[in-house]
Amino acid sequence: MLPKVQCVVVSSLLFMVSGSLAWSATPAGWGRVNMQGSIIETACAIDTQSRDQTIDMDTAPVSQIARDGQGVSRPFSIRLVNCVLGRIDPRLPDWQRFQVTFDGRADTGGFGVEGEANGVALQITDAGGNIANPGQALPAGEIIPGDKTLNYSMRLVGNNQVLKAGEYYSTLRFKMDYY
């Protein structure tokens, strides 16, 4: 006769094995949901649609850049959601302001591009007309409880190098600072 502890272990193992067999014998469809996220103390969250964006700059004629020094502006936005003023620690002052900093490879006149094209950089401008420089914060904005959309535009600008037609691409990052 098996001691009581061994019987419990043996019956538990049999239960797990039979459960596995029943699961694998089921011909029904199955799937998987992967989740990720984070919990942070910050004044606002960045909407998931705003975190990773692809902006199609369309085709710009070299003659337009040579003549005007810039291409057509393309709008994009960063949506802040669930903004609050209060902090978890009541001894700390409420959130009041935020700053956005764009970062990427610096180039004369803006953010550098990679690829076959030459003689151009990307320029980002906020709704107030302030031009973003790589790694430098734009002027501070006021935090208002709720949701807020920050509007920007991006355009090609000449960078004082010889213009050359071709495809280009760039990866830019942004960060939010709250205080």
Rounded to whole angstroms, how far apart are CA atoms 87 and 85? 7
Question: Model's pTM, two decimal places?
Answer: 0.76
Question: If you search the block for the tokens 């919990």, which residue do you land on?
Answer: 39
Span 45-178: which CATH code? 2.60.40.1090
User: What is the DSSP code string of 10-60?
Assistant: HHHHHHHHHHHHHHHH--S--------------S-EEPHHHHS--------
Q: From first to last of its 179 residues, what are the pLDDT tens digits of the chain?
A: 444 333 333 333 333 333 333 444 555 677 777 777 767 788 999 999 998 899 998 888 999 999 999 999 999 999 999 999 999 999 999 999 999 999 999 998 799 999 999 999 999 999 999 999 999 999 999 999 999 999 999 999 999 999 999 999 999 999 999 99
Asked if 125 and 117 touch (Cβ cutoff 8 Å), the reply is no
- What was the pLDDT predicted at 25? 53
What are 84's two structure tokens? 């609050």
